[in-house]
Chain A
Amino acid sequence: MSFPRWMKRLLDFKNRRALRARLDEEMAFHLDQLIAEHERRGMSSAAAKLEAKKQMGSSLRTQESYREQAGLPGIEELVRDLTLALRNLQRRPGYAGSMIGLLGLGLAASLTVFVLTDAMLRRDLSVPRPDELFLIGDEEGDPAMISRAAVERLAANLPNSRIAAYGGGNAGDHAAWQSAGKKRERPISFRRRAPGDGDWADGRSVTLSRG
């Protein structure tokens, strides 16, 4: 929905009572016109009314459909649900209090577990700006064989960077590079380290950091 249309619907929602009154008047006019037309065609007054009402169909359905178009059904439903919930809370305060207490306990337990997990497992790496670690790889972004000399040359070309850790293994030399927005040297590529890349200091990677 476009912004002007949304604004118009919001305005209509504010004026929904006036809109409903407008619909009632329009439908009454429509019905009267139909009755008059049937009477002009020779029907009796009673038959004309009956036929016109049949043609108009269910006014309740029309009003419901119009109400949905004139208002914001989602918001109205939310307000209705909240009102109902508040009424229920007032009606059974003991039950409501115990439910709120249980909910509070659950939230507190979840928060505690999160804080502990965060402190123990998600601690920051011991380099400045640990969120800027980059993995050095080949052109496709996969880990590449890179010698320590190559890594040192790269570090020398990037000011304010240094090797924080380096290791080599059978799987090849990997390097993690910490530096934002630096020019890429072909054929080596950089990509931001993802959680699936494993431990940054597992003995098989190189980590460069600033400072």
Chain B
Amino acid sequence: MSKATSHMDVLQGTLDLLVLKTLAGLGPLHGYGIARRIEQVSEDLLALNQGTLYPALLRLEQQGWIKSEWGVSENNRRARFYSLTVTGNAQLETEISRWRRMSAAVNAIIADHGGSAGQGRQLE
């Protein structure tokens, strides 16, 4: 499988978590930096769609979880830098907890080999 086809879109509902976690770990970042960081940490498995990133950043800002201000990038370009707020930090904990519960539930269903097969036979 080629590298390009191995990219996966970010799961619906997890973008907030990924952005908040990235900002919590690295501090203020511009949109490009956030996207690149998520791709790097996921070893290029997750591909962030810019069409969803910037509206999501604005939404998070409207919710008060992040704030933004103009700054200067590493190559002396004007860029909008996003950083986590105190409310955003608390929200990050909520999002992490929600994700852990969700992934545990999905894992439990995947690991359950016997129940569903038996039920299927009964219905036949």
Q: Which residues of A contact B (CB under 8 A)?
A: 4-5, 8-9, 12, 19, 22-23, 25-27, 29-30, 32-34, 36, 55-58, 61-62, 65-66, 68-70
Could you list 11 examples of A-B contacts with CB < 8 Å?
Answer: A9-B62, A19-B58, A27-B50, A29-B32, A29-B78, A32-B77, A34-B32, A36-B75, A57-B49, A65-B55, A66-B58
CB distance from A29 to the nearest CB of B (A): 5
What residue in chain B is nearest A23 (Cβ atoms)?
Answer: B54
Could you list 19 further interchain pairs (A-B, Cβ under 8 angstroms) beyond the known A30-B32, A62-B50? A8-B64, A23-B54, A25-B78, A25-B80, A26-B30, A29-B30, A29-B32, A29-B77, A30-B50, A32-B77, A34-B32, A57-B51, A58-B51, A62-B54, A65-B52, A65-B55, A66-B58, A69-B59, A69-B62
B1-41 to A contact mask, C-beta < 8 Å, 1/0: 00000000000000000000000000000111001000000
What is the total number of residues of chain B having a CB less than 8 Å from a CB of chain A? 22
Is there an interface contact between A66 and B55, defined as CB atoms closer than 8 Å? Answer: yes
Report the Cα distance A5→B87, complex, angstroms.
13
Is there an interface contact between B80 and A22, defined as CB atoms closer than 8 Å? Answer: yes
A-B interface pairs (CB < 8 A), number:
60
Is there an interface contact between B64 and A61, defined as CB atoms closer than 8 Å? Answer: no
CB distance from B47 to the nearest CB of A (A): 8
Is there an interface contact between B58 and A69, defined as CB atoms closer than 8 Å? Answer: yes
Report the Cα distance A23→B73, complex, angstroms.
16
Q: Is the interface of B mostly helix, strand, loop or mixed?
A: helix
Q: A5 with B50: in contact, given A29-B77, A29-B79, A69-B55 (CB under 8 Å)? A: no
The verdict on B63 contacting chain A, using a C-beta distance below 8 Å, is yes
